[in-house]
Amino acid sequence: MAVLKVKFTKTKRDKLAQVLWILNWISVVTGAILFSLGLFLKVEINKRGELMAERDIQYVPNMLIAVGLIACAINFLGGKICYDCVDTTKFLRWKLIMLPYIICTFFFTFCVLVGALMCYSMRGELEESLNLGLTDAIRFYKDTDTPGRCFLKRTVDLLQIHFQCCGNNGYRDWFQIQWISNRYLDMSEKEVIDRLRSNVEGKYLMDGVPFSCCNINSPRPCIQQQITNNSAHFNYEHQTEELNLWMKGCRQALLEYYTHIMQSIGLAVLITWLFELSVLTGVRYLQTSLENVLRQGDPNSESDGWLLENSFMETARTNLNIIKSLGKNNHIHTSNNGDPNINVPSTSKAHYGPDNVPPKQITEGS
Amino acid sequence: MVVMKMKFPFEKRVKLAQGLWLLSWCATVAGATTFTLGCVLKTELRRRAEVMDNTDVHIVPNTLMIVGLASLGINYFASKICQDALDAGRFPRWKNFLKPYFAVSCFFTVLMLLAVIMSYAMKGSLESSLKVGLRNGIRFYKDTDTPGRCFQKQNIDRLQMEFQCCGNNDFRDWFEVQWISNRYLDFSTKEVKDRVKSNVDGRYLVDGVPFSCCNPSSPRPCIQYKLTNNSAHYNYEYQTEELNIYLRGCREALVNYYMSLMNTIGAGVLSIFILQGSVLVSLRFLQTAMEAVAGKENTEIETEGYLLEKGVKDTIMEVRSTVWDVVYSQMSPSF
């Protein structure tokens, strides 16, 4: 009892082959698009590489790139096969390859689906990576004289300006670290000495933020220093002031940005997966109907096409038996003391040449 | 005296027609490119329209757009003419069309060259427009509560951050203007009162700049206020300090940006002009060569092609008298 049997006339088979040829080429294009999306994501992640701690997030763009390339290759081959399937003689060339090709494509569609799901699951790791990376970046903001961290200040400033954010969670992150280097602090001044003494670690902490936190939409000139001191500035209340600095934290801003990219990419991958599935189904129908045509002998007759010859359970059982017997062929049979030539009954008919005449018996004295 | 006479055997005529057909399609694409370049330039100029005083410089992109559209039409007709040129039956119907066609095409081709020249020549006008516009922008920076100037602060801040510049000529322009609104000044404090009294106009002037002048590449946190006071900051000398704030003036930055854009576009349009000119010259040769074939029985004879039948001076006088006759005949019925 075949699964989803469909009758195919000759014209229907030809049309199916042509449609599949077009679909395969469209899938090649979508594979190329997938490849470029993976490349784009890799570039975007590497651009902000300084702000991310070491985490395993490179696997998502790498997988997308690999899936894109494999999709291009598989669908290119599929296009060639479908193009040749219109002609029954050319189909014979591909007959042996088609079943392995279909099995490979079936497993490949699984990979595509996994790729799509990974896009959505990357968010958690990315958030953690950004959290640690940004904390370190803010801590090393002042170290513009340390090799390896010279440009961290510039990177953080440009990040805060471009993404319109301040600090890790909010602007208060800047209050907890010393972001002004000791090189620019006058250690002989009383104010500096007081501040350094006021905390255990001897850090110069202040309720001020760098200039890159300033909001350009503010109607008044930016207030960067003594942010929490209402009396230091005229007509200013820091609890209600929203336009002075960027209120969003940079981790949230970056996360939103990357989530947006990955959602678009995930959507594209899902659409590719649907395409691949439909191409796979079509190729399977084409293969089975062409094989049935060859079995019947007449290339112009009607034939049946199906997804599976027997029901799902039977096919699974047969395949398991095949896999088991593949394993058994490697074992030595121990029933005849290991010698396979003992007691093999001759059940085959003797073959006496082209005219099949048994030889004359040689008798004595002839 | 004929200008640039050339002999055209039959094969050469055929090759000329085929080459011209291909060339005219290339020129059509080039015309579309010219139009796009004009659009791009106009968009870029409009983006910074708030810091420009007048729109005189917009004549360059407008001309480019007009020329681009015109060359699409010119080259479309050129391809059609050369398709019909080798067919002796179809070519004569273009006869009356060709003289005005060449006049219009020459006019627009010359206009293309004028656009290129203007793109180099408008630098002075652009610079003076930016000078006035930026000066006003800086003067009205504080007026975020005045309708019509609400977004001046935002625009200037964004401009200074994007183009990495400060002020009009340089950062000292901010010292001469009150850029902190009176709404945020506490007039009861002595410091504010002293500053306001210290100048004739009663303005609150500081030797400080807005935060958008700060350079992110500076190794130290940005010093915005008391810029000229070395003792106000530790280890600071404003005469030698180069990385703290942007030293370039915004006028210079914007002029450089727009001139490089217009120079690139000008170079591209110049090559398109040469292409268009060659299309017209080839078409003229084809036309004169085919006209000599008209009426003859053997269409495969060798003919001569030329640019102008008479010399340059005679042709100009003839054109002038034709135009005058046309204008006179249009005017006289009105009497």
User: Using an 8 Å Cβ cutoff, are B112 and B273 in contact?
Assistant: yes
pLDDT in tens, B87-100: 777 887 888 888 88
- What's the confidence (pLDDT) of residue A334? 54
Q: Is A125 in the B-facing interface, judged by CB distances under 8 Å?
A: no
Q: What is the DSSP track for A155-177?
A: HHHHHHHHHT--SSSSGGGGGSS
Residues 6+ apart with CB under 8 A from B278: B23
Compute the count of residue pairs across chains A and B with CB atoms less than 8 Å apart. 71
Single-letter amino acid, residue A129: S
- What's the confidence (pLDDT) of residue B174? 95
Kindly report the nearest CA distance between residue A166 and chain B, in angstroms: 15
| Token pair 């070491």: residue | A54
Kindly report the nearest CA distance between residue B153 and chain A, in angstroms: 7
Q: Is B184 in the A-facing interface, judged by CB distances under 8 Å?
A: yes
pLDDT value at A337 more than 60: no
Q: Is B181 in the A-facing interface, judged by CB distances under 8 Å?
A: yes
Q: Is A177 in the B-facing interface, judged by CB distances under 8 Å?
A: no
Q: Is A161 in the B-facing interface, judged by CB distances under 8 Å?
A: yes
Mean pLDDT of chain A: 85
Kindly report the nearest CA distance between residue A53 and chain B, in angstroms: 23
Here the ipTM equals: 0.82
Q: Is A201 in the B-facing interface, judged by CB distances under 8 Å?
A: no
SS3 B3: strand
Alpha carbon distance B135, B137 (integer Å): 5
pLDDT value at A366 more than 50: no
User: Using an 8 Å Cβ cutoff, are B119 and B262 in contact?
Assistant: yes
Q: Is A220 in the B-facing interface, judged by CB distances under 8 Å?
A: yes
pLDDT value at B109 more than 70: yes
Kindly report the nearest CA distance between residue A159 and chain B, in angstroms: 10
pLDDT in tens, A265-287: 888 888 888 888 999 999 888 88
Kindly report the nearest CA distance between residue B249 and chain A, in angstroms: 20
Q: Which residues of A touch B158 (CB under 8 A)?
A: 216
Query: Which one has a higher pLDDT value, B333 or A20?
Result: A20
Best residue in B234, B235, B245, B246 for a mutation probing chain A (most A CBs within 10 Å): B234
Which of A157, A211, A234 lies nearest to residue B184, judging by beta carbons?
A: A234
Q: Which residues of A touch B181 (CB under 8 A)?
A: 219-220
Q: pLDDT tier at A54 (50, 70, 90 boundaries)?
A: confident
Alpha carbon distance A79, A275 (integer Å): 14
CB atoms within 10 A of CB B16: 23
Which of A154, A180, A189 lies nearest to residue B216, judging by beta carbons?
A: A154
Alpha carbon distance B233, A192 (integer Å): 13
Q: Do B186 and A183 touch (CB under 8 A)?
A: no
pLDDT value at A363 more than 60: no
Backbone angles phi, psi at A242, to 5 degrees: -115, -20
Nearest CA in chain A to B209: A221
Average pLDDT over residues A47-52: 88
Q: Do B180 and A219 touch (CB under 8 A)?
A: no
- What's the confidence (pLDDT) of residue B276? 94
pLDDT value at B245 more than 60: yes
Which of B144, B153, B214 lies nearest to residue A211, judging by beta carbons?
A: B214
SS3 B238: coil
pLDDT in tens, A205-218: 999 999 999 999 99
Q: pLDDT tier at A122 (50, 70, 90 boundaries)?
A: confident
Q: Do B217 and A154 touch (CB under 8 A)?
A: yes
Query: Which one has a higher pLDDT value, A42 or B85?
Result: A42
- What's the confidence (pLDDT) of residue B301? 78
Q: Is B224 in the A-facing interface, judged by CB distances under 8 Å?
A: yes
Q: Do B161 and A161 touch (CB under 8 A)?
A: yes
Q: Is A183 in the B-facing interface, judged by CB distances under 8 Å?
A: yes
- What's the confidence (pLDDT) of residue B95? 83
pLDDT value at B252 more than 90: yes
Nearest CA in chain B to A155: B216
pLDDT value at A364 more than 80: no
Q: Do B219 and A153 touch (CB under 8 A)?
A: yes
pLDDT in tens, A56-82: 888 889 989 999 999 999 999 989 888
pLDDT value at A178 more than 90: yes
- What's the confidence (pLDDT) of residue A365? 45
- What's the confidence (pLDDT) of residue B309? 78
Alpha carbon distance A275, A146 (integer Å): 52
Kindly report the nearest CA distance between residue A190 and chain B, in angstroms: 13
**Chain B 129-158, residues with CB within 8 Å of chain A CB atoms:** 144-145, 153-154, 157-158
Average pLDDT over residues B303-312: 80
pLDDT in tens, B122-157: 999 999 999 999 999 999 999 999 998 889 999 999
Single-letter amino acid, residue B199: N
Average pLDDT over residues B228-242: 90
- What's the confidence (pLDDT) of residue A200? 86
Q: Which residues of B touch A235 (CB under 8 A)?
A: 183-184, 186
* Short-list A203, A207, A176, A208, CA closest to A192: A203
Element (H, E) at A146: none
- What's the confidence (pLDDT) of residue A111? 87
Pull the structure tokens for residue A209: 């933020």
Q: pLDDT tier at B304 (50, 70, 90 boundaries)?
A: confident
Alpha carbon distance A273, A284 (integer Å): 16
Which of B183, B210, B224 lies nearest to residue A235, judging by beta carbons?
A: B183
Nearest CA in chain A to B179: A221
pLDDT value at A333 more than 60: no
Pull the structure tokens for residue A272: 């590719």
Q: Do A183 and B220 touch (CB under 8 A)?
A: yes
Q: Is A157 in the B-facing interface, judged by CB distances under 8 Å?
A: yes
Q: pLDDT tier at A328 (50, 70, 90 boundaries)?
A: confident
Q: Do B222 and A219 touch (CB under 8 A)?
A: no
Alpha carbon distance B157, A249 (integer Å): 22
| Domain locations along chain A | 3-139+252-308, 171-231+240-247
